[in-house]
Amino acid sequence: MEHYKTLQVFQKFPSSGVFHLNLNRPSQRNALSRDFFPEFSIALQTLDQNPNASVIVLSGTGDHFCSGIDIKTLNSIANDTGDRGRSGERLRRDIKYLQEAITAIERCRKPVIAAIKGACIGGGIDIVTACDIRYCSKDAFFSVKEVDMGLTADLGTLQRLPGIVGFGNAMELALTGRRFSGQEAKELGLVSRVFGSKEELDEGVKIIAEGIAAKSPLAVTGTKAVLLRSRDSSVEQGLDYVATWNSSMLVSDDLMEAVSAHLQKRKPTFSKL
């Protein structure tokens, strides 16, 4: 297993197909340091290529999910000097580099489930809006905080949040930077379910993740890929994409196994991807 400064990767139950990826700077409330961005990309690429990994649960070590980007990271980005045009070009390249780390969640073929407790602020919202499913505990709270830091959010929130909670709600949350609760996040559609405690969140997400991991890996990765492509396409383009996808993936051992298991009233067994 890779060793990271800012992350933990582990399996609680080796046969489950569920891997845990934790933001791991609890003393800084899992603020995103400079080291986080390359490590996050590498961790997701490694899990993507690991045939034993079927589902990834993303959470934070300690009491909070993520308190946003580390102030030191912001300072290092902002303190570029020299020719204005060249420093602007360097800054644009730097922002694109940081964006790629968050987009690595979508590039990962395996579903990524966010399990959110405590604070999910600024960069934390960038991360969870790129995740495939989001759940939180009752104590979770959220804020699109960048406007209060004199920034326009630039790592994905303004692009992904409107598709999740609606344009008007996203505009209001981004312009006010206000704090909102887990229950309001559920009402907005940002999370699919609110659990009563951190323990209930962990247990509930475990059951959901293991349920997905038991399904056909071809069907699961295909569903994620087609949904993400369809989000950014017209209905006609999305239908054409899934027709092309299934023309190569549909005739598989997984389909025959799923049908046989259903007829024989047993659990299906699928080969690893």
Active site residues: 69, 123, 126, 146, 154
Six token digits for residue 146: 């960048």
Parallel, antiparallel, or unpaired: how do β-strands 18-23 and 180-181 relate? Answer: unpaired
**Using CA atoms, how far apart are residues 70 and 121, in angstroms rounded to an integer?**
11
Gap between the Cα atoms of 76 and 176, Å rounded: 26
Cβ-based neighbours of 46, under 8 Å, separated by 6 or more: 2, 9
Query: Among 107, 144, 120, 123, which residue's Cα sits nearest to residue 201?
Result: 120
In angstroms, rounded to a whole number, what is the distance separating the alpha carbons of residues 130 and 125? 9
